[in-house]
Chain A
Amino acid sequence: MRITGVRLVATTVLAALTLAMGACADDSGSDAGAGSGTDTGSNSSGTIKEGLKVAFLPKQVNNPYFDTSDNKGGKVAVGEFKGTFSQTGPSEASPSAQVSYINTLSQQQTDVIVVSANDKDAICGALTEAKSAGAKIVTYDSDTKPECRDVFVNQATADGIAKSQIKLISDAVGADGGEIAILSATANATNQNAWIEMMKTELAKPEYSKLKLVDTVYGDDKDEKSFQEAQGLLAKHPNLKGIISPTTVGVAAAARYLSGSSYKGKVQLTGLGTPNQMRAFVKDGTVKAFALWNPADLGYLAAYAGGALASGMITGKEGDKFKAGKLGDYTVGANGEIVLGDPFTFDSSNIDQFNF
Chain B
Amino acid sequence: MAVETPVREPVSPPRATARGLLGSWDLLVLVALVLVVVVGTLTIDGVGNPRFYRFVVLEAIPIALIALPMTLIVITGEIDLSVASTVGLTCSVMGKLWQSGLTSLPALIAISLVLGAVLGAVNGLFVTVFGLPSLAVTIGTLALYRGLAYVVLGDKAVADYPVEWTRDMIAPIPGTVIPWFVLVVAALAVLFGVLLHATPIGRGLYAIGNNAEASAYSGIAVMRTKFWLFVATGVVAALAGVFWTFRFASARADNADGLELSVVAAVLLGGVSIFGGRGGLLGVVAAVALLGTLRNALQLADVPANALTIVTGTLLIASVVGPNVVRMARGRLRRRPPEERTQP
For residue A164, give the distance in angstroms from its CB to the closest CB of chain B.
25
- With a cutoff of 8 Å between Cβ atoms, the chain B residues found around residue A45 in the complex are none
* 291-322 of chain B: CB within 8 A of chain A: 296-306, 309, 311, 318, 322
Which of A90-98, A237-245, A309-317 has 4 or more CB atoms under 8 Å from chain B? Answer: A90-98
Interface size class of chain B, counting residues whose CB lies under 8 Å from the partner chain: 35 or more
A94 vs B297: C-alpha distance when bound (angstroms): 20
Residues 2-30 of A, flagged 1 when their CB comes within 8 A of B and 0 if not, give 10011011101110011011101101100
Q: How far is B158's CA from A120's CA once the two chains are assembled, in angstroms?
A: 11
Chain A residues near B250 (CB-CB < 8 A): 95, 119, 121-122
CB of A188 within 8 A of CB of B302, answer no
| Chain B positions within 8 Å of A22 at CB level | 43
Closest to B333 in A: A1
Whether B252 contacts A13 by the Cβ 8 Å rule is no
Quick check: B39 and A188 within 8 Å, CB to CB? no
Assess the A107–B51 pair: CB atoms within 8 A. yes
Contacts of B156 in A (CB 8 A): 187-188
- List chain B residues, Cβ under 8 A from A28: 43-45, 300-302
Chain B contacts for A5, CB-based, 8 A = 326-327, 329-330
Interface presence of A213 (CB below 8 A) = no
Closest residue to A119 on the B side, CB-wise?
B250
Residue of A nearest to B23 (CB): A6
Whose C-beta in chain B lies nearest to the C-beta of A14?
B35
Secondary structure at the B interface, as helix, strand, loop or mixed, is: helix
Q: What residues of chain B lie closer than 8 Å to A95, measured between beta carbons? A: 248, 250, 252
B326 touches A24 (CB 8 A): no
A101 to B249, CA, bound (A): 17
Please name all residues of chain A whose beta carbon is closer than 8 Å to the beta carbon of B248 when the two chains form the complex: 95-96, 99, 119, 121-122, 125
What's the nearest-Cβ distance from chain A to residue B106, in Å?
23
Check B322–A119 contact: CB distance below 8 A: no
Q: How far is the CA of A14 from the CA of B33 in the complex (A)?
A: 10
A287 to B63, CA, bound (A): 47
Residue A334 is within 8 A (CB to CB) of chain B in the complex = no
List the A side residues contacting B166 at CB < 8 Å. Answer: 125
Instruction: Report the nearest A residue to B55, measured CB to CB.
Output: A103
> A228 interface residue, CB < 8 Å from B?
no
Interface contacts beyond A28-B44, A122-B159: sample of 10 additional A-B pairs, CB < 8 Å, sorted by A: A1-B333, A2-B330, A6-B27, A6-B28, A14-B31, A21-B39, A24-B44, A28-B302, A125-B248, A186-B155
Some 13 contacts from A to B, beta carbons below 8 A apart, are A6-B28, A9-B326, A17-B39, A32-B45, A94-B254, A95-B252, A104-B296, A108-B46, A121-B159, A122-B252, A125-B166, A125-B170, A188-B157
Question: Chain A interface (Cβ within 8 Å of chain B)?
Answer: 1-2, 5-6, 8-10, 12-14, 17-18, 20-22, 24-25, 27-28, 31-32, 61-62, 86, 88-91, 94-97, 99-101, 103-104, 107-108, 119-122, 124-125, 186-188, 218
The 5 A-B residue pairs with the shortest CB-CB distance in the complex, in nearest-first order? A187-B155, A24-B301, A121-B159, A25-B43, A122-B250
